[in-house]
């Protein structure tokens, strides 16, 4: 059956049962509303509960399937959405089962985790955050949406906007790092990208900001663990990127598996109902995480499936992902009067409206077109974008005596380490429909880049967890006539992501010893890191003269690494998260408080450690270039200003080296004295400085000067501020100004940076 026929059939059926809008009424929005209300009016309680249920049809589950204890598992024709089915043909088939097999022929929503690309795999989100480039993140999200929607996917569970300051937590790879300002800019951009303002309707994908909230604050960095977060930190840090996503129009919010201060997020009326919906005015869907409603029983806040359903529903969770609690309990909860039917209708309405926004009532199969799928997946355009994104995500951590870039005309180059030839690992975790065989490995990229006369030897050396350390003699033999050794070290692609917490963050297995053997040869060693989290790298930093952090860069890994290694591209990435020296320093982050006893070399009774420095190995914002940038002192438009005035900050940045290059100029602010303690610096701006000499300008206003007072109300307090502008959070390039009057701010502050708000939404 072709889809036009089916659409007509569905339309006819809707007319027959009296649900089609009356012709002659020319307010399309009214017609749409009437259509939804009439549909709700026709539904039984069971059909309504079904719309709020999501069936898991994926092959690999991300959690244990719940013990249903005799509860009937729903059929695809009984539910509102499905997780894990993709492909134009597959989605068409399953959609047919739902539309034709159900009484009211309501189409399904197909959801999938499109996290950093669908078929074309872009850098993992933590890597892409290193580009500090919101427009790039918007473009990769858009490209992912074009591919995924062509494969029948309507709804992604991205962007993941969890802040984390603990790299033991494996899911650090899915987010934008430690800073709420950077994360908010990227969250808003990704939401816009998935939606695609000007995109044809069939290329629009619903987005989900997750995991609301504080999931990244898991104690001990152990996934799914308890979060205990102060009111202030919750507001200033963890909630901020969610607020940005909501302000950018995100379609859905997913609560986390975690509890916050004693309440599991799937039952949190305070944070979901009162904060998200009432205070922020969020009108979209709240979709529970994988069996997260049922897990309220394990959390110990509900003793039965019915009690779990009631708690989650009262917290305004709309959709039960791969659970049976809603479908089996909600009708009884309505009949017994414990839940008013109007509340059920509210949740059902939100699901139906999402389907209507995508045009699924007009044509349930509009996203399932095999010809479009064939044309739009893994194109030269998406590959070029993946290469650009990968180039911009690479961070040059160290480059002693300008060892990099390497010449393409070396006589002999030895590449070492299993990751160099591991195509699967280039994709990282959550790689959508990415195929390893479509990915360029580092080894392949290097081979393609060098001149034909260059000899390349490859020493794989076991697996990263257990690299063989060949006898020194063997290494000496292979490297004796080499110009340089390139060691590709780090984690495999599946060592970060969900349920991938680690207690030690050094190079896994025997890789440090391997590196020792390599440096013992006396040959220059370049380390290329592949990893999904900050690692503790003092030993690497000590031994290797040059280190490139490449994270997991996706389909174009090898090309992008070679572009940077051989200098076709000058690296410009900056760390979106602090690299500790040792696990014992965690949590360590740039926006820390000063304390009453700030770290000091001379005072032994100051905040610090007996056995380790207190500073990070590589600070937030750090990233070198093959050229150098010289900063002049910031020039301020005023020394004194009232709370409602704006301040312009200008700084001249000069490329003082031999090559062209892009610098990410970062602006941090410190309020020197306030009624509550303030971080030693908070990021409040960043901008690219390409080319030779550039004057970079920033505008600061009351949103930037504001803090939360002792009652957590936004306030600008008079007093002095220091503004720092430089190439990392460790910069000392500063100027001071005074805000001469204060005020409480009535309007909700925007979490989206001002310049991003003002740029086109496309
Ligand atoms: C993860 C979510 C994901 C969901 C669906 C869960 O285990 O926590 O981030 O969206 O699975 O795959």
Q: Whose CA is nearest to atom 2 of ligand 1?
A: 289
Q: Whose CA is nearest to atom 7 of ligand 1?
A: 62
CA separation for the pair 255, 267 (Å, rounded): 9
Q: What is the pLDDT of residue 7?
A: 40
pLDDT digits (tens, 9 = 90+) for 121-154: 999 999 999 999 999 999 999 999 999 999 999 9
Report how far ligand 1's centroid is from the alpha carbon of 109 (Å): 16
Q: Binning pLDDT at 50, 70 and 90, where does residue 386 land? A: very high
Q: Which atom of ligand 1 is nearest to the CA of 84?
A: 12
Instruction: Kindly calculate the radius of gyration of the chain based on its CA atoms and give it in whole angstroms.
Output: 27
Q: List phi, psi (to 5°) of 426.
A: -60, -25
- Whether 289 is catalytic is yes
CA separation for the pair 281, 278 (Å, rounded): 5
Written as six digits, the tokens of 430 are 């959550």
Residue 100, ligand 1, Cβ within 6 A: no
Q: Please name every residue paired with 653 in a beta bridge, in sequence order, or none if there are none.
A: 631, 694
Report how far ligand 1's centroid is from the alpha carbon of 497 (Å): 10
CA separation for the pair 534, 616 (Å, rounded): 11
Q: Please name every residue paired with 629 in a beta bridge, in sequence order, or none if there are none.
A: 655
Residue 113, ligand 1, Cβ within 6 A: yes
**E strands, 482-524, in order:** 484-490
Q: What is the pLDDT of residue 68?
A: 53
| DSSP conformation letters of 576-645 | SS-B-SSGGG-S--TT-B--SS---SS-TTSS--SSS-SS-SB-TT--B-SS-EEEPPPEES-SEE-TTS
Q: What is the pLDDT of residue 18?
A: 42
- Token look-up 């009432």 returns 278
Q: Which atom of ligand 1 is nearest to the CA of 257?
A: 8
Instruction: Give the length of the chain.
Output: 762
* Domain limits, the chain: 43-54+114-374, 394-585, 629-757
Q: What is the pLDDT of residue 102?
A: 96
* Candidate from 84, 86, 113, 501 with most ligand 1 atoms within 8 A of CB, to mutate: 113
Q: Binning pLDDT at 50, 70 and 90, where does residue 70 land? A: low
* Candidate from 114, 156, 157 with most ligand 1 atoms within 8 A of CB, to mutate: 157
pLDDT digits (tens, 9 = 90+) for 609-642: 999 999 999 999 999 999 999 999 999 999 999 9
* Alpha-carbon distances of 725 from 176, 370, 415, 623, 729, rounded to whole Å: 21, 51, 39, 15, 9
CA separation for the pair 749, 236 (Å, rounded): 12
* Candidate from 66, 172, 211, 289 with most ligand 1 atoms within 8 A of CB, to mutate: 289
Helix or strand holding residue 511 (H, E): helix 511-520
Q: What is the pLDDT of residue 693?
A: 72
pTM for this entry: 0.95
Residue 210, ligand 1, Cβ within 6 A: yes
pLDDT at 690 over 90: no
Q: Please name every residue paired with 686 in a beta bridge, in sequence order, or none if there are none.
A: 666
Q: Establish how many alpha carbons lie within 13 A of residue 706's alpha carbon, considering only the half-sphere containing its beta carbon.
A: 22
pLDDT digits (tens, 9 = 90+) for 150-209: 999 999 999 999 999 999 999 999 999 999 999 999 999 999 999 998 888 899 999 999
CA separation for the pair 494, 430 (Å, rounded): 9
Least confident of 17-21, 469-473, 476-480, 514-518: 17-21
Written as six digits, the tokens of 362 are 């007009």
Residue 63, ligand 1, Cβ within 6 A: yes
Q: What is the pLDDT of residue 21?
A: 45
* Contact of 331 with 45, CB cutoff 8 Å: yes
pLDDT digits (tens, 9 = 90+) for 262-286: 999 999 999 999 999 999 999 999 9
Report how far ligand 1's centroid is from the alpha carbon of 293 (Å): 13
Report how far ligand 1's centroid is from the alpha carbon of 67 (Å): 18
Q: List phi, psi (to 5°) of 109.
A: -100, 135
Range 43-54+114-374 classified under CATH 3.40.1160.10: no
Share of the chain above pLDDT 90, in %: 87
* Contact of 551 with 489, CB cutoff 8 Å: no
Spot the catalytic one: 179, 251, 289, 433: 289
* Fold match between domain 43-54+114-374 and domain 629-757: no
Q: Which atom of ligand 1 is nearest to the CA of 157?
A: 10
Report how far ligand 1's centroid is from the alpha carbon of 565 (Å): 35
Nearest to 532 by CA among 131, 94, 174: 174
Nearest to 554 by CA among 468, 493, 631: 493
* Candidate from 57, 62, 266 with most ligand 1 atoms within 8 A of CB, to mutate: 62
Contacts of 569 (CB under 8 A, 6+ apart): 391, 560, 563
Please state which CATH number belongs to domain 394-585. Answer: 3.40.50.1700
Q: What is the pLDDT of residue 252?
A: 98
Q: What is the pLDDT of residue 537?
A: 98
Share of the chain above pLDDT 70, in %: 93
DSSP state of 235: I
Least confident of 63-72, 557-566, 717-726: 63-72
Q: Which atom of ligand 1 is nearest to the CA of 211?
A: 9
Residue 62, ligand 1, Cβ within 6 A: yes
Q: 283 exposed, middle or buried (CB, 10 Å; 0-12, 13-18, 19+)? A: exposed
Residue 498, ligand 1, Cβ within 6 A: yes
Q: Please name every residue paired with 651 in a beta bridge, in sequence order, or none if there are none.
A: 696
The pairs formed by 61-66 with CB atoms below 8 angstroms and a separation of 24 or more are 61/290, 61/322, 62/290, 62/498, 63/290, 63/291, 63/322, 64/291, 65/291, 65/322, 66/291, 66/294, 66/322, 66/323, 66/324
Q: 602 exposed, middle or buried (CB, 10 Å; 0-12, 13-18, 19+)? A: exposed
Range 629-757 classified under CATH 2.60.40.10: yes
């Amino acid at each position: 059956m072709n889809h036009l026929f089916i659409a007509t059939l569905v339309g006819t059926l809707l007319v027959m049962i009296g649900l089609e809008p009356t012709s002659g009424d020319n307010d399309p929005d009214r017609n749409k509303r009437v259509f939804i209300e009439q549909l709700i009016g026709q539904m039984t309680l069971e059909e309504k509960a079904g719309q709020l249920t999501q069936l898991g049809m994926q092959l690999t589950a991300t959690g244990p399937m719940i013990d249903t204890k005799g509860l009937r598992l729903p059929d695809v024709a009984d539910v509102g959405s499905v997780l894990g089915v993709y492909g134009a043909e597959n989605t068409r088939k399953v959609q047919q089962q739902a539309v034709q097999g159900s009484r009211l022929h309501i189409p399904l929503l197909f959801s999938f985790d499109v996290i950093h690309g669908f078929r074309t795999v872009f850098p993992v989100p933590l890597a892409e955050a290193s580009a500090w480039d919101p427009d790039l993140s918007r473009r990769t999200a858009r490209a992912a949406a074009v591919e995924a929607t062509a494969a029948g996917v309507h709804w992604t569970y991205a962007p993941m906007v969890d802040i984390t300051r603990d790299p033991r937590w494996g899911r650090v790879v899915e987010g934008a790092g430690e800073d709420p300002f950077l994360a908010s800019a990227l969250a808003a951009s990704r939401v816009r990208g998935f939606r695609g303002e000007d995109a044809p309707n069939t290329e629009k994908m619903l987005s989900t900001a997750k995991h609301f909230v504080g999931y990244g604050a898991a104690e001990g960095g152990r996934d799914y663990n308890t979060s205990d977060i102060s009111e202030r930190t919750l507001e200033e840090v963890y909630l901020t990127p969610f607020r940005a996503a909501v302000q950018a129009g995100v379609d859905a919010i997913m609560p986390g598996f975690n509890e916050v201060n004693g309440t599991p997020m799937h039952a949190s009326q305070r944070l979901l109902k009162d904060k998200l919906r009432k205070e922020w005015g969020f009108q979209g869907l709240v979709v529970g995480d994988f069996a997260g409603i049922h897990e309220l029983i394990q959390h110990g806040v509900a003793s039965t499936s019915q009690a779990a359903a009631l708690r989650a529903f009262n917290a305004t969770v709309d959709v039960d992902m791969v659970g049976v609690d809603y479908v089996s309990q909600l009708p009884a909860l309505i009949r017994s009067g414990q839940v008013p039917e109007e509340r059920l209708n509210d949740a059902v309405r939100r699901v139906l409206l999402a389907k209507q926004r995508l045009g699924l009532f007009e044509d349930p199969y509009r996203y399932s077109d095999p010809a479009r799928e064939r044309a739009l997946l893994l194109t030269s355009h998406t590959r070029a974008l993946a290469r650009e994104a990968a180039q911009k995500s690479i961070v040059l951590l160290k480059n002693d005596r300008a060892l990099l870039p390497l010449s393409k005309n070396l006589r002999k180059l030895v590449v070492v380490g299993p990751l160099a030839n591991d195509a699967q690992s280039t994709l990282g975790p959550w790689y959508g429909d990415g195929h390893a065989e479509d990915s360029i490995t580092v080894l392949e990229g290097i081979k393609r880049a060098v001149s034909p006369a260059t000899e390349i030897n490859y020493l794989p050396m076991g697996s990263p967890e257990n690299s063989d350390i060949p006898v020194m003699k063997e290494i000496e033999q292979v490297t004796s006539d080499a110009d340089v050794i390139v060691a590709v070290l780090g984690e495999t692609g599946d060592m970060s992501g969900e349920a991938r917490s680690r207690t030690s963050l050094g190079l896994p297995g025997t890789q440090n010893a391997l590196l020792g053997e390599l440096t013992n040869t006396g040959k220059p060693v370049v380390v290329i890191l592949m990893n999904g989290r900050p690692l503790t790298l003092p030993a690497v930093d000590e031994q290797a003269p040059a280190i490139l952090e490449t994270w997991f860069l996706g389909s174009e890994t090898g090309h992008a690494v070679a572009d940077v290694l051989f200098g076709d591209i000058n690296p410009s990435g900056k760390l979106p998260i602090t690299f500790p020296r040792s696990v014992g320093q965690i949590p360590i982050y740039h926006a820390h408080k000063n304390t009453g006893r700030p770290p000091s070399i001379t005072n032994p009774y100051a905040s610090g450690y007996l056995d380790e420095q207190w500073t990070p190995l590589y600070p937030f914002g750090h990233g070198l270039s093959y050229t150098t940038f010289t900063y002049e002192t910031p020039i301020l438009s005023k020394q004194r200003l009232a709370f409602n005035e704006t301040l312009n900050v200008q700084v001249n940045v000069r490329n003082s080296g031999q090559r062209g290059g892009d610098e990410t100029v970062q602006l941090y602010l410190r309020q020197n004295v306030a009624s509550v303690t303030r971080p030693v610096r908070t990021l409040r701006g960043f901008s690219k400085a390409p080319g030779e000499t550039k004057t970079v300008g920033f505008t600061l206003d009351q949103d930037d000067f504001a803090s939360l007072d002792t009652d957590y109300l936004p306030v600008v307090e008079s007093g002095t501020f220091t503004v720092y502008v430089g190439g990392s959070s460790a910069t000392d390039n500063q100027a001071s100004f005074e805000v001469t009057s204060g005020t409480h701010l009535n309007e909700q502050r925007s979490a989206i940076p001002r310049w991003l708000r003002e740029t086109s939404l496309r």
